[in-house]
Amino acid sequence: MMEVRTTCAYCGVGCGIRATVTGERTVKIAGDPDHPANRGRLCSKGTHLGETVGLEGRLLAPMIGNRRAGWDKALDLVAKRFKETIARHGPNSVAFYVSGQLLTEDYYVANKLMKGFIGSANIDTNSRLCMSSAVAGHMRTFGEDVVPATYDDLDAADLIVLVGSNTAWCHPIVYQRIRARCEEGAKLVVIDPRRTETAEEADLHLPIRPGSDVALMTGLLQYCREAGVVDEDYLAAHVAVPQDFWDQLAEGNDLWSVARTCDVPAADLRHFFDLFAATPRTITLFSQGINQATAGTDQVNAMTNLHLATGRIGKPGAAPFSITGQPNAMGGREVGGLASTLAAHRDFAPENRASVQRFWAAPTMAEKPGLKAVDLFRAIGEGRIKALWVMATNPAVSMPDANAVRAALAACPFVVVSDVIEKTDTGAFAHVRLPAAAWGEKDGTVTNSDRTISRQRALFALPGEAMPDWWIVKEVARRMGWKTAFAYDRPADIWREHCRLSTYENNGARRFALPGAAQGGNAAYDAMLPFRWGGDRPFADGRFSTEDGRARLVPVAQKPLPGPLAKWPLTLNTGRYRDQWHSMTRTGLAPKLARHREEPLVEVHPADGARLGLADGGLARVETPQGESIYRVAFSDGQRPGELFVPIHWTDRTASGGRTGLLPRPLVDPLSGQPGFKRTPAAIAPVATQWRGFLLLAAELAERPACLWATRVAVPAGVLWELAGDGGLQRIEALLPRGERIEAQDPARGTRRIAVIAGGRLAGALFVTASGELPPRDWLIAQLAAPAVAPTLLAGRAPGVQADRGPIVCVCFDVGLKAIVAAIRDQHLADVAAIGAAIGAGTNCGSCRPALARILTEENSHAA
Ligand code: SF4
pLDDT, one tens digit per residue, over 439-480 is 999 999 999 999 999 999 999 999 999 999 999 999 999 999
Query: Using a 6 Å cutoff on CB, does residue 42 contact ligand 1?
Result: yes
pLDDT of residue 763: 95
CA of 808 relative to ligand 1 center, distance in Å:
20
55, burial (CB in 10 Å: exposed 0-12, middle 13-18, buried 19+):
middle
Q: How many CA atoms lie within 13 A of 109 on its CB side?
A: 32
Task: Provide mean pLDDT across the span 740-755.
Answer: 89
402-411 vs 373-381: helix crossing angle, rounded to 10: 50
pLDDT of residue 611: 97
CA of 332 relative to ligand 1 center, distance in Å:
18
Q: Which atom of ligand 1 is nearest to the CA of 17?
A: 7
Query: Using a 6 Å cutoff on CB, does residue 13 contact ligand 1?
Result: yes
CA of 513 relative to ligand 1 center, distance in Å:
26
Interacting residues of 228 by C-beta distance below 8 A, sequence separation 6+: none
Which helix (H) or strand (E) element contains residue 752?
Answer: strand 751-758
pLDDT of residue 588: 74
Query: Using a 6 Å cutoff on CB, does residue 308 contact ligand 1?
Result: no
Task: Provide mean pLDDT across the span 140-152.
Answer: 96
pLDDT of residue 814: 80
Task: Provide mean pLDDT across the span 227-255.
Answer: 95
Indicate the top mutation candidate among 18, 45, 154 to test ligand 1's pocket, ranked by most ligand atoms within 8 A of CB: 45
Band of pLDDT at residue 556, cut at 50, 70 and 90: very high
pLDDT of residue 662: 84
Q: How many CA atoms lie within 13 A of 536 on its CB side?
A: 10
Query: Using a 6 Å cutoff on CB, does residue 11 contact ligand 1?
Result: yes
Q: Which atom of ligand 1 is nearest to the CA of 38?
A: 6
pLDDT of residue 584: 76
Query: Using a 6 Å cutoff on CB, does residue 14 contact ligand 1?
Result: yes
pLDDT of residue 801: 57
Over 70: is that where the pLDDT of 328 sits?
yes
Query: Using a 6 Å cutoff on CB, does residue 314 contact ligand 1?
Result: no
Query: Using a 6 Å cutoff on CB, does residue 402 contact ligand 1?
Result: no
Query: Using a 6 Å cutoff on CB, does residue 43 contact ligand 1?
Result: yes
Over 90: is that where the pLDDT of 404 sits?
yes
Query: What is the C-alpha separation between 121 and 353, in angstroms, rounded?
Result: 12
Query: Using a 6 Å cutoff on CB, does residue 52 contact ligand 1?
Result: no
CA of 171 relative to ligand 1 center, distance in Å:
7
Over 90: is that where the pLDDT of 650 sits?
no
Extract the runs of DSSP E, i.e. beta strands, from 32-158: 63-64, 67-68, 94-98, 123-125
Query: Using a 6 Å cutoff on CB, does residue 172 contact ligand 1?
Result: yes
pLDDT of residue 443: 97
Query: Using a 6 Å cutoff on CB, does residue 46 contact ligand 1?
Result: yes
Task: Provide mean pLDDT across the span 665-687.
Answer: 93
Q: Is 579 left (phi over 0), alpha (psi -120 to 50) or beta?
A: alpha
Q: Which atom of ligand 1 is nearest to the CA of 173?
A: 1
**Cβ neighbours around 278 below 10 Å, total:** 12
Band of pLDDT at residue 576, cut at 50, 70 and 90: confident
Range with the largest mean pLDDT of 184-188, 573-577, 835-839: 184-188
Query: Using a 6 Å cutoff on CB, does residue 37 contact ligand 1?
Result: no
CA of 166 relative to ligand 1 center, distance in Å:
14
Task: Provide mean pLDDT across the span 382-406.
Answer: 94
For 799-832, the DSSP string reads SS------SEEETTTTEEHHHHHHHHHHHT--SH
Interacting residues of 546 by C-beta distance below 8 A, sequence separation 6+: 142, 143, 240, 552
Within its chain, how far is the Cα of 685 from the centroid?
28
Query: Using a 6 Å cutoff on CB, does residue 147 contact ligand 1?
Result: no
Mean pLDDT, the chain, integer:
93
C-alpha distances out from residue 348 to 121, 259, 334, 366, Å: 10, 41, 15, 8
Q: Which atom of ligand 1 is nearest to the CA of 581?
A: 3
Query: Using a 6 Å cutoff on CB, does residue 173 contact ligand 1?
Result: yes
Q: Which atom of ligand 1 is nearest to the CA of 46?
A: 7
Indicate the top mutation candidate among 13, 576, 845 to test ligand 1's pocket, ranked by most ligand atoms within 8 A of CB: 13
Q: Which atom of ligand 1 is nearest to the CA of 174?
A: 1
Over 80: is that where the pLDDT of 861 sits?
no
pLDDT of residue 613: 97
What pLDDT digit, counting tens, does each position of 481-533 carry? 999 999 999 999 999 999 999 999 998 889 999 987 767 899 999 999 999 99
- Residue of 660 and 302 predicted with greater confidence: 302
C-alpha distances out from residue 673 to 146, 150, 604, Å: 19, 26, 29
Band of pLDDT at residue 803, cut at 50, 70 and 90: low
Q: Whose CA is nearest to atom 4 of ligand 1?
A: 11
Band of pLDDT at residue 800, cut at 50, 70 and 90: low
Band of pLDDT at residue 381, cut at 50, 70 and 90: very high
Task: Provide mean pLDDT across the span 820-839.
Answer: 88
In contact, 807 and 795? CB cutoff 8 Å:
no
CA of 18 relative to ligand 1 center, distance in Å:
13
In contact, 45 and 52? CB cutoff 8 Å:
no
CA of 45 relative to ligand 1 center, distance in Å:
6
Query: What is the C-alpha separation between 205 and 850, in angstroms, rounded?
Result: 15
Indicate the top mutation candidate among 8, 178, 456 to test ligand 1's pocket, ranked by most ligand atoms within 8 A of CB: 8
CA of 247 relative to ligand 1 center, distance in Å:
44
Over 90: is that where the pLDDT of 591 sits?
no
| Range scoring the smallest mean pLDDT among 439-443, 688-692, 771-775 | 771-775
In contact, 464 and 471? CB cutoff 8 Å:
no
Indicate the top mutation candidate among 38, 170, 448 to test ligand 1's pocket, ranked by most ligand atoms within 8 A of CB: 38
pLDDT above 70: percentage of residues in the chain: 99
The shares of helix, strand and coil residues in the chain, as percent rounded to the nearest 5, are: 35, 20, 45
pLDDT above 90: percentage of residues in the chain: 74
What pLDDT digit, counting tens, does each position of 190-223 carry? 999 999 989 999 999 999 999 999 999 999 999 9
Query: Using a 6 Å cutoff on CB, does residue 630 contact ligand 1?
Result: no
pLDDT of residue 578: 82
Over 60: is that where the pLDDT of 413 sits?
yes
Query: Using a 6 Å cutoff on CB, does residue 9 contact ligand 1?
Result: no
Q: Whose CA is nearest to atom 6 of ligand 1?
A: 15
Query: Using a 6 Å cutoff on CB, does residue 715 contact ligand 1?
Result: no
| Range scoring the smallest mean pLDDT among 25-34, 622-631, 792-801 | 792-801
Query: What is the C-alpha separation between 444 and 453, in angstroms, rounded?
Result: 10
Over 90: is that where the pLDDT of 430 sits?
yes
Query: Using a 6 Å cutoff on CB, does residue 570 contact ligand 1?
Result: no
3-state secondary structure of 221: helix
Query: What is the C-alpha separation between 339 and 422, in angstroms, rounded?
Result: 28
**b/e for 11-45, b at 16 or more Cβ within 10 A?**
bbbbbbbbbebeeeeebebbbbeebbbbbebbbbb
Phi, psi dihedrals of residue 735, rounded to the nearest 5°: -80, -15
- Residue of 859 and 205 predicted with greater confidence: 205
Indicate the top mutation candidate among 6, 7, 11 to test ligand 1's pocket, ranked by most ligand atoms within 8 A of CB: 11
Phi, psi dihedrals of residue 104, rounded to the nearest 5°: -60, -40
Interacting residues of 762 by C-beta distance below 8 A, sequence separation 6+: 696, 698, 755, 756, 780, 783, 784, 786, 789, 793
Q: Whose CA is nearest to atom 2 of ligand 1?
A: 43
pLDDT of residue 864: 65
Cβ-defined contacts of 518-523 (< 8 Å, 24+): 520/496, 521/492, 522/490, 522/492
In the chain the first and final C-alpha atoms are separated, in Å, by 54
Query: Using a 6 Å cutoff on CB, does residue 45 contact ligand 1?
Result: yes
**Cβ neighbours around 746 below 10 Å, total:** 12
Q: Which atom of ligand 1 is nearest to the CA of 847?
A: 2
Band of pLDDT at residue 739, cut at 50, 70 and 90: very high
- Residue of 651 and 426 predicted with greater confidence: 426
Query: What is the C-alpha separation between 724 and 707, in angstroms, rounded?
Result: 7
pLDDT of residue 802: 58
pLDDT of residue 813: 79
Task: Provide mean pLDDT across the span 32-44.
Answer: 95
> Among 758, 703, 694, 764, which residue's Cα sits nearest to residue 729?
694
Report which DSSP code applies to 318: B
Within its chain, how far is the Cα of 537 from the centroid?
26
In contact, 109 and 474? CB cutoff 8 Å:
yes
